[in-house]
Structure 1
Amino acid sequence: MPESNQSIESRIQSAILELENVESPNISAWARARNLPYQRLLARYKGRCSFSERTPNGRKLDESQESALCRYIDFLDSIYLPPKRPAITAAANAILASSHVDNSTKPPTIGSHWLQRFLRRHPEYNCRRQRAMDIDRKKCLNKQIAREWFDSYKETIAKYSITADDIWNFDETGFNIGVGRDQWIITHEPKRQITGGFNTNREYATAIEAVSATGSTIAPVVILSAKLLLLRWFEIVGDERIAVTETGYLNNVLALQWIQLFNKLTKDSVKGTHRMLLYNQFGSHLTYEFVKYCEDHNIILFFLPPHSSHLLQPLDIGVFSAYKHWHSEWVYDATVAGYKKITKDDFLSAIAQIRQKTFKPSTIKLGFRLTGLWPTNPAIVYNTLEDLERDFGYDTLSPPSSVATSDSSDCSTPKTAQRVKKLEERIEEKINRIQQPSRRLIQKLSKATTDLAHLVVELKQDIERGDYVREQRHTHENRSRRASKLTGIVHSSQVERMKRILKSGDNLKALMKLRPYYRREVLPELKRVYKAKGYFIKK
């Protein structure tokens, strides 16, 4: 039976160890004496590796690139978010694209069998099936997990000397543009269900927000569900950035652009060397480019434990509830003012007003304080978890019985013009019958007249407000419907710069159109006038 290559290579390596102690050895004699292939022994003696140890010629990622990919996998695994196969494939292609320098050709990509070979080269990674678990069991956060997370949080702050100015919380929240919430109203009806009829717009929009532990904010990014950016949107918004996707949700490309925008807007206010970015890992877009950019710019991604945002995320506790409340209030006011359908233009025109009422420094600091993140106080979360773990029940209190105390129709004050008219007829009847009107009825008539006068004033103000709102909306609707060629996260300054470029091009086109007229009509007349004065114009 022929000897295997592994056995031959083992004997060659043993011979190489012996040859290291020999000065000017005779390789041919050593090969004959030990029955080894001469050429292979000579190649190994000169330092050439065997085929099994040599890097394959067609291997796409070199050692440093694979090392970077391994660090990315280790990072995701350390935050309990192990990557799936497509994520590793996308990260490998991103690494190849980042190192590709020839712009005339497309960057290389890995093949269909590359991942299998990669896992064989790295046996420390195991491909396992992730077992599905009921969300109610998965989202349970116990005291031990919270204690370990807070210990890691405090160690990171101490290690990098991070101050409150450099601790940020980033998350996204969604809006149905024209859908509000239930409203509290005052009415005479004690039991009957009261509903308000509103024409709603369920188009989805996402707002990406970031707040710091000192109460600071940065300009938001509003993602609308559309295919193109309309130029008129940038005439409505202020400092907000706008992006579009078909669904209205954040995607991997916009997530990378957002972290670049975050670095641009906060790098001048950094107090230390690193910034900490707290983020709820559920639904995150942790691509290789996203993580690498954070690593290169000293941004520490610090993730909350799974399904713990209701306890540990300042935006969820202190801010987003107020955000949704003020949006709902705006939807209600706009509908009452006469909006038949709330559009994206209306939403963009109101987002600055809604944010002004929401993102107050006191509200943001309250969110960090209630989560125990700043000032650092884990006992707040521990006590909450103890209360949740303890068996308790709620006493359902029956609402107090309401006693309908209403006067008779004869004693109640009239509220409408028809009832005032009826009251006048009754007074006339009493005057005709008694010759002297009742003092009580005259007082009621006077009170009703006064109430109606106040009602007229209020209605007049409401009508004026509605007219103003409709006029503003009419102005929005009459704006240009031209689409922008810009993509990604766009600011109004970029649109203004693009408009100036387009305007200069339009002016040049207009001048080129006037050129034939100038040569045909204007130039001959100039020549005639100057010739009469004794001047000549050369061509």
Structure 2
Amino acid sequence: METRANNLNLTEKEEEVLIQYIIDMDERGFAPKLSGVEDMANYILESRGAKRVGKLWAHRFVKRCTKLKTRFSRVYDFQRALCEDPKLIEEWFGLVSNMRAKYGIQDCDFYNFDETGFMMGIICPGMVVISSERNGRNKAIQPGNREWATAIICGNGEGETIPPFLIVQGQVHLSNWYTETDFPADWAIKPTSNGWTNNETGLEWLKHFDKYTSQRRKGKYRMLVLDGHESHESIPFQSYCKSNDIICVKLPSHSSHLTQPLDVGCFSVLKRSYSCQVDEFIKAYINHISKVEFFIAFKAAYQQSITIQNMKAGFRGAGLIPFDPQAVLSKLDIRIRTPTPPSILLESANSWVSQTPHNPTEALLQSTLVKSRIARHQSSSPTPIFETVVALAKGTERLAHENTLLSAEIRMLRKANEALSKRRHVKKTQLHQGGVLTGQEAIDIISQQEVDIQIRRDERQNRGNSNGESSTNRCCSKCGKTGHNSRTCSNNIIDPRLLDS
């Protein structure tokens, strides 16, 4: 930290606590934004009744603090970050190495397969060239057809692939899928109700895989690296693998962006290439991407992106061929963990050296030292006592500031938890089958359901009256009639006195 100015909002001790709090959050993968730093400073200032910082304070604070800096953050899935534990990744690489050695798996028999989805008419954003006189951000036009299709792709460590397996939404095969697209003879199409894979489709793909790899294998066994999709863990899938000498190795959860060759080297290229093909349709004023256009675009994109070079690059980037776990471990730059608390000194009060305490135990040792020095002090200089008390005061101040920040964080988490709990416990009643509802239409349906429930309750009560006495029906509190409640009453009761006036 540079030489401090006299007009700073926070004291030196307050800034030290704030800096350490930011560093701790960063180490856990939750680096705050500048607005978050501003909020932390205001929490500290509010605790002592001071004025809030200005809008540019956080920017200037980070700029003059040598321990902090700003950078653009990546949006990072929490579960992926949670699973990026070097120990877990190392253990998985050890498993792969042992399995390959045990079954004698050669590079040509080492396969990876996975599904990747497409919304047929959606393209990826990208950099474009526009007129220098144009203001604002360019808006790309896309067909907008969001019909879902899935492609199952598979390749081995030598870059060889098997014909892709395409899943589209539908019930029957149509002749123009094949006659109008120059569809390759060995590619496969499977229509399903939603264009997604399932247990049945997974087994059908496995037979497709066996058909194209069983004759070209060099060893007895083939190894198949796959993710934890439900269809890959079904009993028929696993039984077929066992019966046909296919060894399955499951990827670590939420780690496919690091350890799966297809994700590392092929899928992003495939998606970009597909977007380019759709863009060509747009330039030709084809404004709706049907299955025919999808097959044409996918075929061109597949041939451009799923190449021997890209497949090999995927296995190399995933650290599998050549075997190099460090290629993945070196990319792990985030740790989701609770920071290790400051070391708690276990020494007795006799061995404690006067210093600023950083936790309650150290504060207790410091206060014990103060008491002992006061007890021993007679005519000697009071300087050591003063220094000890000052150190104790600094530690107390530090703990108070940390408590302020933690209390603010707890309030925020408690508020978020209450909102989440409220959403989870809201009664979910079916109102309408499909179609479009306005807010008023939904309220009317709810009101009618309440009336229907009340009528059924009254009818049950009438049937259960064994004494023959007429049961008292519930009436509307406004008009006194049955069949509805005050909420849905169409009559307004007007005080007669208002009519006379």
**TM-score, normalized by length of structure 2?**
0.49
Structure number with greater Rg is 1
Tell me which protein shows more helix as a share of its residues.
Answer: 1
